[in-house]
Structure 1
Amino acid sequence: MYIDGALTDGQGRIDVINPATEDSVATVAAAGFADVERALAAARDAFPGWAATPIAERQRWMRRLRDEVIANEDDLRACVHHEMGKPWAQTEEDWDRVVASLDFYAEEIARLQDFSLPDRAGTHSHRMVWEPAGVAVAFLAWNFPLLNLAFKLGPAMAAGCPIIIRPSNETPISAYAIGELCAGIGLPRGVVQVLATETYAAADALSASTIPAVLTMIGSTETGKHVIRTGATSIKKYAMELGGNAPVLVFDDADLDLAADVVCGVKFSNAGQICVSPNRVYVQRSVLQAFTDRAVARARAARVGFDRDDDITTGPLINARAFDRIKGLVDRAVAEGATLLAGGDRPQGMNRGHFLAPTVLGDVTETMDVYRDETFGPIVSIIPFDTEDDLLRQANDCGQGGLTAYVFTRDLARAEGYAAALRYGEVQINGVKYDIDLPHGGIGYAGVGHDCSYLALHDYLVLKRITRARDTTLFESVNA
């Protein structure tokens, strides 16, 4: 672990299993309660100094770390490759986002401007000043081990907030490698700390502490609610990217090849273990067969496996529990009347690893679990529609908030109309685009705050109002 400026052993151990081979690839130290308390104390003690550190010096530290991330690209990508079985080509996005985040937020913090407010009576001046919120604790999901870390590390460092990063026990290796790089450059003690926890109770001690001012996470809605409950020991800020059940609306005038490319590309990449992955694909009946044929062709053409072959599109599910859950969704849907058009089981000849072949289901209905649940697996569920009468209700029926929705149509008025009416934090029209400078966040139960863009800085900052009377004689009398 990396605690209080040093690499350190812990009270426990975590065995990391590669889900592609089912072999152990590492054993890492894990924090117990005493380690957690030590990390919290170090972050608390680091806050005054790091918050007061000039922006130019914070930028230098961020760029030194960025340079080390660049120099260690192969090693960092190998960590992700082995801890979650991610196809080699897809590990580049994880690594690249760390570089991009440190670069982007080092620049963006310098652009952040304090601002003035008018005084209606003209008797006072008012300045609004951005200040670091305090210690941050970040709980990371396993699906993008370095990308998720990057989304928290860059804005916290730039804002002046010491951050404790708690990676998933499924994928701690790459986060620990970042901790090693922080130690190597001599980053000031307590500014960044990285620790996995031996138990969930030890993780809860991070959020239950009164030391953190910010709790941030990427994970499921249920986990988000749990973190909020345990964090209620004190007043904290929350920044959370949570679950989604993304709808896709494919209209009869859509570019069907484009729609199939986006749906299958996002759905089969990372084995569908992506929070913005399309879950419910509503296709107008007049183009249903044509779209379905394209989706099935792409599912059958997808290459499943684990090595450094850049042609591999789909890796394994994260563990046996995930495989059983996803396979169960498919089996129950078929038993309830869905049509299995592709995949649905292990790829032929692959008896090791938690691989599920890219799957396409037709005739999916609203009552099926595969429709209601965020699948988090390589399943395209196709739902036909005849008219638009009930489409918006169905698309918005994803619980009490949404993360991402997709619309494919050549009708601009229709596209903008649905974009306005869909209750999602992001609506992607005729394509998909994510980058470090674009806000990423959900509505309602899909999250609060934003990852990426300048808006992420706001999750780690607070505003202070400084009001000064304009009667200068007051200051003259004090000075006298």
Structure 2
Amino acid sequence: MRTQNFGYKKLYIDGQLVDAAKGKKINVVCPATGEVIAEVAKAGKEDAEKALLSAQKGFKYWSKLSLAERTVWMTKLRTAVLEKEHELRTAMVHEMGKNYAGAYEDIEAVINALEWYPGAMKNLREEQIPDYENTHTHKMISKPAGVAVAYLAWNFPLLNVGFKLGPALAAGCSLIIKPSTLSPLSTYMLGEILHDIDFPAGVVNILAGPSGEVATTLTTSKIPAVLTMIGSTETGKKVIADSTTSIKKLGMELGGNAPFIIFEDADFEIALNLAVVLSFWNSGQICVAANRIMVHKNIYDKFLKAFIKRTSALKLGFGIKENPEVFMGPVVSRSDRDRMFELVEDAVSKGATLEYGGKIPKGFPEKGNWIEPTVVSGITPEMNLFRQETFGPVAGIMSFETDDEALELANDTEYGLASYIFTNNHQRIERFTDELEFGEIQINGVKYAIYLPHGGIKNSGIGHDCSHLALGDYLVKKRVSIAIKY
């Protein structure tokens, strides 16, 4: 299993590629082999402060450009990203273990966001407000909010960037991007692309480093007007608590615990195929993964048997371009793999059955973070596999008997991001649409796109990524009232 070395990557601050102030570096480790495949500059407090001043200056310039002028730059960046597609996809395979096909999702998110959001911004309409006494005219106008800071999760390194970069730039905001230290490589490479095309200085800044130094400095500063993130609920709570040095707009896509509910009248093959994909694609490291698969008792045995068969046929491996048959790679870190084993052990100790997997596969590098795709049946609400966001390749399956039971089980979580139901009963669809406590309800299929809102309720977040709704995170509203002269 041969890896590639990507060398050393610098911070991107104020339009320049620079070393960290203290000269420190982060080793980027390939989860497939445990080998160091790159070094990136390790930012600290001083670098975060420089990024804030840079973004402040960048906002003054960028917000004054017309949308047409901003669009020219966004199109230039889109073209440059496409030219580096293979290098970026290869970097993501190496830094977090996804397969080459999966890495295209990240590229697609960036290029779609850079193309779609200028049009979405152009299509925003000023709201006209009636005046009931006929003494004034009133309208609401939108203006860029200011400097935005984006904290990003490691599971989709560039997809997460695209979800923030597109609306922020289209709205007229400058942006500081802090990728995870687990997978910063491709984001730092984006910084190189921005530098190569002479993107306006300070409009985008990229740095990774310890949250205690970098994130705390950024979050507590009074410079940012917007804090946006993709990450865990616990991290979201910390960001909210630290942000109160000033009033900031918050946009957060946080943890999920998606129910995947299959009724006996569902299209069995569609539900089965999507259950497998949403359990093991990206090694299950997806916020909208099928976390709790709930199957009606009349088809439970049939489904479980078929699900195990499909799972056992998945190709595990290092998903570089030369290995297109690979479906699932390793998990991102050794601690994450250990957490998978702990979830399985807890479930089995409380009465669940390990049906398949749950072991370290043979024939793979010992220093890699490999685990077999795993199936656990008979899970219950007392188990951590039911309660926690799995975020790994362990599928928990349970049966239910009535619609009331399915609803109660589905909503029995602090999270409220994605949910899935498969049924052809229209009355049931209407009821579940009304009563499921999730920001997304997908029925008899799954679709995500840059123009479709993505967001959660309860402890799963604030606001939305994607769609025109994301622009709202980066805009402030002004009311303009003009007296009518008689």
Aligned match of 1:138: 150
| SS of alignment partner, residue 143 of structure 1 | coil
Matched, 1:78 2:90: yes
CA distance in 2, matches of 1:433, 1:20: 29
Aligned match of 1:9: 19
Deviations 1:58-98 (A, max 9, x none): 00000000000011111111111111111111111111111
Deviation at 1:378, TM superposition (A): 1.0
Letter in 1 for 2:17: L
Letter in 1 for 2:393: P
CA distance in 1, matches of 2:279, 2:83: 31
Aligned match of 2:450: 436
Aligned match of 1:471: 485
| SS of alignment partner, residue 231 of structure 1 | helix
Matched, 1:30 2:42: yes
CA distance in 2, matches of 1:282, 1:347: 27
Deviation at 1:198, TM superposition (A): 4.0
Matched, 1:317 2:331: yes
Matched, 1:113 2:128: no
Deviation at 1:200, TM superposition (A): 2.5
> Is the contact made by 1:32 and 1:199 (CA closer than 8 Å) also made in structure 2?
no
| 1:177-192 equivalent positions in 2, closer than 5 A | 177-192=189-204
> Is the contact made by 1:257 and 1:294 (CA closer than 8 Å) also made in structure 2?
no
> Is the contact made by 2:32 and 2:365 (CA closer than 8 Å) also made in structure 1?
no
Correspondent of 2:392 among 368, 374, 377: 377
CA distance in 1, matches of 2:18, 2:310: 47
CA distance in 1, matches of 2:471, 2:430: 29
| 1:333-412 equivalent positions in 2, closer than 5 A | 333-352=347-366, 353-399=368-414, 401-412=415-426
CA distance in 2, matches of 1:242, 1:219: 5
Deviations 1:333-370 (A, max 9, x none): 11221111111112233353112111111111110111
> Is the contact made by 1:370 and 1:381 (CA closer than 8 Å) also made in structure 2?
yes
Aligned match of 1:458: 472
Aligned match of 1:274: 286
CA distance in 1, matches of 2:71, 2:246: 31
CA distance in 2, matches of 1:64, 1:350: 41
Deviation at 1:387, TM superposition (A): 2.1
Structure 1: unaligned runs, 5 residues or longer: 473-480
CA distance in 2, matches of 1:417, 1:144: 33
Aligned Cα root-mean-square deviation (Å): 1.1
> Is the contact made by 2:208 and 2:214 (CA closer than 8 Å) also made in structure 1?
no
| SS of alignment partner, residue 274 of structure 2 | helix
> Is the contact made by 2:296 and 2:401 (CA closer than 8 Å) also made in structure 1?
yes
CA distance in 2, matches of 1:285, 1:7: 58
CA distance in 2, matches of 1:124, 1:359: 65
Question: What is the number of residues matched between the two proteins?
Answer: 471
After alignment, is 201-210 or 58-67 more displaced? 201-210
Aligned match of 1:478: none
CA distance in 1, matches of 2:362, 2:296: 33
Letter in 2 for 1:9: D
CA distance in 2, matches of 1:398, 1:238: 23
Aligned match of 2:8: none
Deviation at 1:30, TM superposition (A): 1.5
TM-score scaled by structure 2?
0.95
Letter in 2 for 1:264: V
Deviations 1:177-211 (A, max 9, x none): 11111111111111001011245222211111000
Deviations 1:253-274 (A, max 9, x none): 1112111111111111110000
Aligned match of 2:4: none
Deviations 1:140-165 (A, max 9, x none): 00000000000000100000000000
Correspondent of 1:126 among 135, 138, 146: 138
Matched, 1:296 2:337: no
> Is the contact made by 1:13 and 1:198 (CA closer than 8 Å) also made in structure 2?
no
| SS of alignment partner, residue 90 of structure 2 | helix
Deviation at 1:297, TM superposition (A): 0.9
> Is the contact made by 1:441 and 1:449 (CA closer than 8 Å) also made in structure 2?
yes
Aligned match of 1:475: none
| SS of alignment partner, residue 170 of structure 1 | coil
CA distance in 2, matches of 1:34, 1:361: 47
| SS of alignment partner, residue 389 of structure 1 | helix
| SS of alignment partner, residue 176 of structure 1 | helix
Letter in 1 for 2:129: L
CA distance in 1, matches of 2:79, 2:327: 29
Which of structure 1's runs of 4+ aligned residues deviate more than 6 A? none
TM-score scaled by structure 1?
0.96
CA distance in 2, matches of 1:93, 1:425: 22
Letter in 2 for 1:377: G
| SS of alignment partner, residue 98 of structure 1 | helix
Letter in 2 for 1:132: P
CA distance in 2, matches of 1:263, 1:232: 41
Correspondent of 1:205 among 195, 204, 217: 217
Aligned match of 2:5: none
